[in-house]
Structure 1
């Protein structure tokens, strides 16, 4: 007998110390060979590939190709080295989580790390 409902966990990601005020869901299409370029987001991004495929790499990690049905996670304030459409292009759903009174942002390049001022001892 076939189960009438089948549940499969594709991704489980903890978000410690994250206050979510808004989740925005977008359907995004990149035409063939469009390179998103290195970038980062102000909140975590979850997504699923609907059609096509994309080259995906996070913060110097192993590059991979995501295809229809695959899911992904982009941590907040972390360099996304690649999210580049392959020769077939890609359409995906992106779930953008941001804090209260924030809007989702994509910023080119790596996040800026602010250094605390150095103070001398007594």
Structure 2
């Protein structure tokens, strides 16, 4: 015999008590917004994720560089002029995010007048290190 469906009054009472619970109250206070959804050109099996806090002094340029894997980042303080080769440059500030695809040439990542501190997140395969290459050096 199948279990009886709850009546509309029972369902409403259950929803009301669930909405009044501490968990529901804390969920109502949380907002989740996707700020970046980066698609990997070459999906990889991730064995570990390395997160680095990186600081560039005021006006310091990173120079043209290429990463050995994808990099996802978030600016914590300051600003940076960011440009992937062949794309328009843009200024990133605290709270902004960026994505550097594996093998893409990063033409500019130059600290602003106040410098910049950012988190760089490196998804890595087993045995892989987060490597950076500077083609012009």
TM-score range, shorter chain: 0.7 to 0.9
- In structure 1, which of residues 14, 17, 20 is the aligned counterpart of residue 46 of structure 2? 20
Give the structure with the larger helix fraction: 2
Answer yes or no: is 1:99 the counterpart of 2:125: yes
Is the contact between residue 47 and residue 73 of structure 1 (CA under 8 Å) also seen in structure 2?
yes
Match of 2:98 in 1: 72
Q: Detail structure 1 runs of 4+ shifted over 3 Å in the superposition.
A: none
Aligned ranges for residues 20-59 of structure 1 at < 5 Å? 20-59=46-85
- Which structure has the larger Rg? 2
- RMSD of aligned Cα (Å): 1.3
How many Å separate the matches in 1 of 2:44 and 2:108? Answer: 24
Of stretches 12-21 and 39-48 in structure 1, the one that deviates more from structure 2 is: 12-21
**Structure ranking higher in strand proportion:** 1
Cross-structure match for 2:11: none
Is the 1:42–1:77 Cα contact (8 Å) retained in structure 2? yes
Unaligned segments of structure 2, at least 5 residues: 1-27
Q: Give the equivalent residue in structure 1 for 2:25.
A: none
CA distance in 2, matches of 1:17, 1:48: 21
1:46-101 CA-to-partner distances (Å, cap 9, x unmatched) read 00000000000012211000000000000011100011101110000000122211
Give the total of aligned pairs. 108
TM-score, normalization by structure 2 = 0.75
* C-alpha separation in 2, matches of 1:78 and 1:60: 10
Greater relative contact order (CA < 8 Å, ≥ 6 in sequence): 1
Distance in 1, matches of 2:90 and 2:58, equals: 17
Structure 2 partner of 1:9: 34
